Amino acid sequence: MPRIWVITLNTLFVLLCVVGLTGCTTVQPPSTMATIAPRATPFSPENPLTLEVAIRQAHQHDPELRVARHNVSVAYWEKVQTSLPPNPRLSLIADPTEWVVKLATHIVDMIDPVNRRQSLIHASETREEVAVLDLQTRQIALTKNVRVNFSEVYIRQKATSLLQERVELFRELVDIANKQLALGALSRLDVLRLERELFEAQMQLSEQMLLCRQANARLNRLLNLPLATESVLDMPEEEAAWVSFELNENNQMDLGMLQRPELTRLAVQARELEILLKVAPLQWLGDVESGVYFKNEDSTEIGIELLMFVPVFDRGQVQKRVYEAKLAALEEQMLATQASLILEVHEAALQLLYVRQRLYDELPAIYQLLLTEHDLLQQAQYLGEADAVAVRKARIEMLDAEMASEMARLAVFQSQADLAAALGDRGLDLIDSIS
The CATH number linked to 129 is 1.20.1600.10
Residue 383 maps to a domain: no
Residue 249 maps to a domain: yes
Nearest Cα residue to 112 out of 272, 282, 310, 275 = 282
Strand partners, 290: 105, 306
Contacts 24+ apart (CB under 8 A), 336-343: 337/262, 337/263, 337/266, 338/255, 338/258, 338/263, 341/258, 341/260, 341/262, 341/263, 341/422, 342/253, 342/255, 342/258
**27 vs 80: CA distance, rounded Å:** 8
**117 vs 158: CA distance, rounded Å:** 62
- Write out pLDDT tens, residues 239-248: 555 555 555 5
- Write out pLDDT tens, residues 269-281: 888 888 888 877 6
Amino acid, single-letter form, for residue 158:
K
Average the pLDDT over 11-22 and give the result. Answer: 43
Cα angle value 312/318/320 (rounded, 5°): 125
- 64 pLDDT exceeds 70? yes
- 110 pLDDT exceeds 80? no
Assign 248 to helix, strand or coil.
Answer: coil
Contact 89, 104 (CB under 8 A): yes
pLDDT at position 9, please?
40
Range of the domain at 130: 59-337
- The residue among 234 and 159 whose pLDDT is bigger is 159
Residue 259 pLDDT grade (very low, low, confident, very high; cuts 50, 70, 90): confident
Residue 311 maps to a domain: yes
- 302 pLDDT exceeds 80? no
Distance of CA 149 to the CA centre of its chain: 15
Residue 253 pLDDT grade (very low, low, confident, very high; cuts 50, 70, 90): low
Residue 74 maps to a domain: yes
Residue 292 maps to a domain: yes
- Write out pLDDT tens, residues 191-202: 999 999 999 999
List the single range of 309-313, 314-318, 321-325 with lowest mean pLDDT. 309-313
Residue 349 maps to a domain: no
Contact 174, 191 (CB under 8 A): yes
Residue 342 maps to a domain: no
Residue 369 maps to a domain: no
- The residue among 238 and 131 whose pLDDT is bigger is 131
Q: Where are the alpha helices (DSSP H) in 311-387?
A: 315-357, 363-382
pLDDT at position 416, please?
85
List the single range of 36-50, 194-208, 309-323 with lowest mean pLDDT. 36-50
Other C-beta atoms closer than 10 Å to the C-beta of 323 total 18
List the single range of 168-182, 303-317, 321-335 with lowest mean pLDDT. 303-317
**199 vs 173: CA distance, rounded Å:** 13
Contact 79, 126 (CB under 8 A): no
**173 vs 195: CA distance, rounded Å:** 9
The region that residue 174 occupies, defined by phi over 0 for left and psi between -120 and 50 for alpha, beta otherwise, is alpha
Number of domains in the chain: 1
- The residue among 353 and 175 whose pLDDT is bigger is 175
378 CB-near residues (< 8 Å, 6+ apart): 391
pLDDT at position 398, please?
94
